[in-house]
Copies of this chain bind each other. A is one copy, B any other.
Amino acid sequence: MAVETTNVKATNKAWDGFTGGHWQNEINTRDFIQKNYTEYKGDDSFLEPIAPSTDKLWTKLQELFEVEHEQNGVYDMDNNIPSTLTSHGAGYLIKEEEKIVGLQTDKPLKQAFQPFGGIKMANNALTSNGYEVDENMTKVFTEWRKTHNQGVFDAYTPEMRLARKNKIITGLPDAYGRGRIIGDYRRIALYGIDFLMEQKKKDHDNCGSNVMLDDVIRLREEISEQYRALADLKKMAASYGFDISRPAENAQEAIQWLYFGYLGAIKAQNGAAMSIGRISAFLDIYIQRDLERGDITEFEAQELVDHLIMKLRMVKFARTPEYNSLFSGYPIWATLSIAGMGIDGRSLVTKNDFRILHTLTNMGPSPEPNLTVLYSSHLPEGFRTYAAKIAKESSSIQFENDDLLRANWGSDDCAIACCVSATVVGKDMQFFGARANLVKAVLYAINGCQDEKTKMQVGPRFRRMEGETLDFDEFMENYKQTLDWLAELYVNTLNIIHYMHDKYAYEAAQLALMDTDLKRTFATGIAGISHATDSIMAIKYGNVKVIRDEDGMAVDYVPQNEFPTYGNDNEEADAMANWILDYFMTQIKRQHTYRNSTPTTSLLTITSNVVYGKATGNTPDGRRAGKPLAPGANPSYQDGKFLGEKNGLLASLNSTARLEYEHARDGISNTQTINPNGLGKDDTTRINNLRNVLDGYFDKGGYHINVNVFTNELLLDAQKHPEKYPNLTIRVSGYAVKFRDLTPEQQADVISRTSHDHM
């Protein structure tokens, strides 16, 4: 094989000093990393402060951010240049200071015009921000070029529209890009584009037997699209003066080449989550080689990393008010995964993981990139301590259980897409599918699929529950048949969405950097797991009295006895949460999935918990209509006679850790706020305690945690005096956000959450 490639000659310089292996003859980034990375077991003492260039750039950028903030999150927008890899020339923040270059459009923070997903949304994003619609573009993308959104609505059934309208299925990626695909951007640095094009050409030659089934034809066309996208990436890089047809030859080039890959992705796609993947150890190899050669200093290495991270802080997408109400505070999930263990027992921690976290010190906290530590108690103590320290100081990072990742995905090259969704870099892609509201489904089970808010008959005319109080056995029969119906409808709705996304908004630029023979997961999601659990426990033990309206529809519930609830380390309540998860997932798995993808589910709501709660009536656990749902897998923090986390942080974590990741392989999201005083009296104690909490939680099988360390008083003050806290960043469900960018409702929701003041 090797002799056939053009690359071998070209790589003499690029690969000089690297340990060889399979990666030299075929695309195999992981093999390159494993053979070449230098594990780092020390502490953070080697880190260098901010460079003058970084400071200048960051100062300028903060000025632009202020303007953007004053203009409700929009610095500037394009309205008539459909964004493609080659639609814009080169753009800079301060050209002479930038070690890493490349903007989405011609100016920093200017949002691109991205109509392929839906011209209505693209135009709505313009008008809702006071920009003009271009009539010619509207004509092009209405009469001649169909979009994803139009395709989806052309195929939907009336029942799907009804379920969507009534928000039993909600947040569907039919009016925004599905995102969550991570290109293996490292491949450009390691191999250069020409080699990657050659490999795609081979894949095209070998795609399918000669029998042209629809599947084969589709894939053959996709490979051609990918091939063209690679050629366009070269053109894009050339507009900045770089030739990425060849591999990178030093650290600066490696970072630049890799970033060009990511830049191509965000030029071509406005996806809900545009994650960059797992790049830390990979880049460390190049930095380490340059350091050893004496080509750069640690100070310069940090400067390069800071500049890359700054680019990720600048990513912007034009979005609609509807989108912003689902995902508040302009997240784009440039999720960057660091650390993790290797399958061979070494950790994958390098100095670069420190450098990346250190950007939060050099440039201060920031929502993006969504920094994600793949955690294990087996990681070197120096790193675990440093990560705990940065988490405490910044409330800007999240942790995922790397032991569970390796066991479930069979790879030590996973990265997180979006918040909690793992994929093996370059080998898996996900069909993102938002979520079904399973506590609303509790109400549908009681009311025979008639919606408690709109009074519409959304699902089958199942028998209503009619007793004065709710009978547990009767309820369970109803709930199961409601979930059966919902799972089928949900999966088939997603089948349409992904068919049309592939047809009208195919992610060629990202998929070009991945294996042709991909594994695809079909991600569903569950909202309201804690409320569904608590409601069922209330029905079982709480002797719930039902209040009905004049039409006989149950509209309110009064639990008369105490009942066990999820989030308090109660085994029966936690088992009920697992039962819901297992039962729903089993029904999901029964369905046909697009491209025979592997179904998964998540317990994750992002900030949509607020709008989901708004659409959900009173629930049998005593939760009030319209109140936000607890986010993700979080226990309820609602006021309610029998509700809330009553047993402290560790009990709450124990309950969450009991949820079976094996059944929720799209991830289980848990967001916690800890009062600093609850962690100890001084910083060292607090850091060590936080590290110990993380060790314990993950060893018990907890999957994920967003760590916030602050008091509610701080948030209340920031609510009143936003001008005092321009950079206050907090973790919400699955991402970090500037507190001031949350809607008033979401600020109130965050403040109402439990802030644990004891373990």
Question: Which A positions have Cβ atoms within 8 angstroms of B?
Answer: 82, 84, 116, 140-141, 143-145, 151, 153-159, 205, 210-214, 217-218, 220-221, 224-225, 488-489, 492-493, 495-496, 499-500, 503, 591-592, 594
Contacts and interface: CB of A to CB of B under 8 A. Distances in A.
A140 B151 contact: no
Contact of A143 (B84, B153, B496): B84
B488 A210 contact: yes
Contacts of A591: 211
A210 B151 contact: no
A157 B224 CA distance: 11
A34 to B, nearest CB: 36
A211 B494 CA distance: 11
A372 to B, nearest CB: 33
A155 B210 contact: no
Of the candidates A155, A492, A594, the one having the most CB atoms from chain B within 10 angstroms of its own CB is A155
30 contacts: A84-B143, A140-B144, A141-B144, A144-B144, A144-B145, A151-B221, A153-B224, A154-B221, A154-B224, A154-B225, A155-B212, A155-B217, A155-B220, A155-B224, A157-B210, A157-B220, A210-B488, A210-B489, A211-B492, A211-B592, A212-B495, A212-B496, A212-B499, A214-B214, A214-B594, A217-B495, A217-B496, A217-B500, A218-B499, A220-B496
A156 B204 CA distance: 9
A82 B144 CA distance: 8
B154 A220 contact: yes
Contact of A214 (B140, B151, B157, B499): B499
How often does this chain occur in the complex, in copies?
2
A255 B65 CA distance: 65
Contacts of A493: 212
A591 B221 CA distance: 21
Nearest to A159: B210
A649 to B, nearest CB: 44
A219 to B, nearest CB: 9
Nearest to A591: B211
Contacts of A153: 224
A586 to B, nearest CB: 17
B158 A205 contact: yes
A54 B154 CA distance: 45
Given A140-B140, A592-B211, A221 B155 contact: yes
Contacts of A214: 214, 499, 594
B492 A210 contact: yes
A205 B210 CA distance: 36
A312 B684 CA distance: 89
A750 B534 CA distance: 87
Contacts of A213: 495, 592
A164 B143 CA distance: 33
Given A205-B158, A217-B495, A212 B143 contact: no
B212 A492 contact: yes
A573 B205 CA distance: 42
Contacts of A212: 155, 492-493, 495-496, 499, 592, 594
Given A211-B591, A212-B594, 10 more contacts: A140-B140, A140-B144, A144-B144, A154-B221, A155-B217, A157-B220, A212-B499, A212-B592, A217-B500, A503-B503
A169 to B, nearest CB: 14
A207 to B, nearest CB: 9
Nearest to A595: B214
A140 B221 CA distance: 20
A565 to B, nearest CB: 35
Nearest to A86: B143
**What 4 A-B pairs have minimum CB-CB distances, sorted nearest first?**
A154-B224, A212-B495, A212-B492, A145-B145
Nearest to A488: B210
A558 B172 CA distance: 72
A427 to B, nearest CB: 24
Contacts of A492: 210-212
A489 B159 CA distance: 43
A205 B492 CA distance: 15
Contacts of A495: 212-213, 217
A94 to B, nearest CB: 31
Nearest to A492: B212
A154 B225 CA distance: 8
Nearest to A152: B221
| From A141, A212, A220, A591, residue with most partner B Cβ within 10 Å | A212
Q: Tell which of A143, A214, A591 has the most Cβ of chain B within 10 Å.
A: A214
Contacts of A488: 210
Nearest to A84: B143
A83 to B, nearest CB: 11
Contacts of A84: 143
Contacts of A140: 140, 144-145
A47 to B, nearest CB: 45
Contacts of A156: 220
Contacts of A496: 212, 217, 220
A116 B144 CA distance: 8
Contacts of A159: 210
Nearest to A136: B136
A678 B159 CA distance: 71
A594 B158 CA distance: 29
A205 B161 CA distance: 12
A204 B139 CA distance: 26
Contacts of A221: 151, 154-155, 500
